Amino acid sequence: MAFFIASSPHTHSRRSTPDLMKWVALCALPGLATQTYFFGWGTIIQLLFAIVLAFSLEGIVMLVRKRHPMSALRDNSALVTAWLLAVSIPPLSPWWIVTIGLVFAIVIAKHLYGGMGQNLFNPAMVAYVVLLISFPVQMTSWIAPSTLQPATISIGDSFALIFSGFNLDGLSLQQVRTGIDGVTMATPLDAFKTGLRAGQTSQEVLSHSQFSGLAGVGWEWVNIAYLLGGLLMLRLRIIAWHIPAAFLVSLVVFSGAFFLFTPGETASPVLHLFSGATMLGAFFIATDPVSASTTVKGRLVFGAMIGALVFIIRSWGGFPDGVAFAVLLANMCVPMIDYYTKPRTYGH
């Protein structure tokens, strides 16, 4: 028998990068199914289109870089990027929204920095922020949850609205959304902030039909589904608990303190937890192993920073949901966080 001398680390994980990315997508299935149930077939159509486009862009960029495309396609990172972007945008957004977003995510935010493992920022969130700033109307055109719609939007209508801008009856997306209840056109976080700025009390805003026991109709179940998927990832040790726990605890602490001392001016911790992209961000976005902090203490600081920024942006910022902005701002601070939280070398 031969004796091999090798440097540390001496442990080996049986999970490869493709396997980890595959499990991330599988654990996101409950959230995807719930989101499709409440917001229609557009979510599935956007996801399938995004996956095909992401793999195509990945292969083209690898060929331009004179590298074998299969080395990048096999790691499934393009799958996760496409998945996160597709479920983050309104389900009936025009097809060019996904196209522009994935060009920024795959080509600019990922490969211009060197490819897999070299990107400083979460590619999907870079794409989301670029789209939100550039096309605010399309990126905030959420339809009402299915339980508040007088008639469901068929898969044919969804496909036609995404790729032509009109449904099978010739109505535009704006006409379809206006035909529902005008108050249900905004997301719960957006409706809450708009109501407070209009002079309504928090109780008056929460009495609208789009709010329910925990948060917004449909949105609370979507967040619960992503929470279950995130807990499954923790159980399978796909991710560590530090970032999501610090994220959620920080969000609860800040929102709870302001809700306690300034009642009626900010949303409750429950509304923050189960609205918007809270659970998706805590378990599937902030835990990106490439752009997140790598030290144990750093992950706690990183997650807490995101939670605080999400509350600040939601409460006083110009956008209703601040998860993407908070993640990117925290990504900027990762080198400093890792520098000051790196473990002390043994013997020093």
Question: 106-115, long-range: CB within 8 Å, 24+ apart, which pairs?
Answer: 106/54, 106/57, 106/58, 106/61, 106/78, 106/81, 107/57, 107/61, 110/77, 110/81, 111/61, 111/65, 115/65, 115/72
Handedness of CA 277, 282, 287, 291 (dihedral sign): positive
| CA 283 – CA 291 distance, rounded (Å) | 14
| CA 11 – CA 34 distance, rounded (Å) | 38
Cβ atoms 279, 227 nearer than 8 A: yes
What pLDDT score does 2 carry? 60
The residue ranges of DSSP E strands in 54-146, in sequence order, are none
| CA 48 – CA 82 distance, rounded (Å) | 9
What pLDDT score does 14 carry? 61
Tracing tokens 């920022």 back to the chain, one arrives at 121
- DSSP 8-state class, residue 153: P
- Which residues contact residue 115 at a Cβ distance below 8 angstroms, ignoring those fewer than 6 apart? 65, 72
Give the chain's count of helices (H) and strands (E): 18, 0
User: How many CB atoms lie under 10 A from the CB of residue 201?
Assistant: 13
The residue ranges of DSSP E strands in the chain, in sequence order, are none
- In the chain, what's the furthest Cα-to-Cα distance? 79
What pLDDT score does 184 carry? 42
Per-residue pLDDT of the chain (348 residues; tens, 9 = 90+): 565 555 545 445 566 778 888 899 999 999 999 999 999 899 999 999 999 999 999 999 988 888 887 776 778 888 999 999 999 999 999 999 999 999 999 999 998 888 877 888 999 999 999 999 999 988 988 888 877 776 778 899 999 999 998 888 888 887 777 654 444 456 888 888 888 787 787 777 777 877 877 788 889 999 999 999 999 999 999 999 999 999 999 999 999 999 888 877 788 899 999 998 999 999 999 999 888 999 999 999 999 999 999 999 998 888 878 899 999 999 999 999 999 998 877 766
Cβ atoms 46, 86 nearer than 8 A: yes
Half-sphere exposure (CA, 13 Å, Cβ side) for 50? 33
Concatenated DSSP letters of 206-227? HTSTTB-SSSBTTHHHHHHHHH
Q: What separation, in Å, do the N-terminal and C-terminal C-alpha atoms of the chain show? A: 38
What pLDDT score does 170 carry? 84
Is 117 in a helix, a strand, or coil? coil
Question: What angle do the packed helices 29-39 and 77-88 form, to 10 degrees?
Answer: 30
Question: Which residue, 81, 66, 67, is CA-closest to 21?
Answer: 81
Is 303 in a helix, a strand, or coil? helix
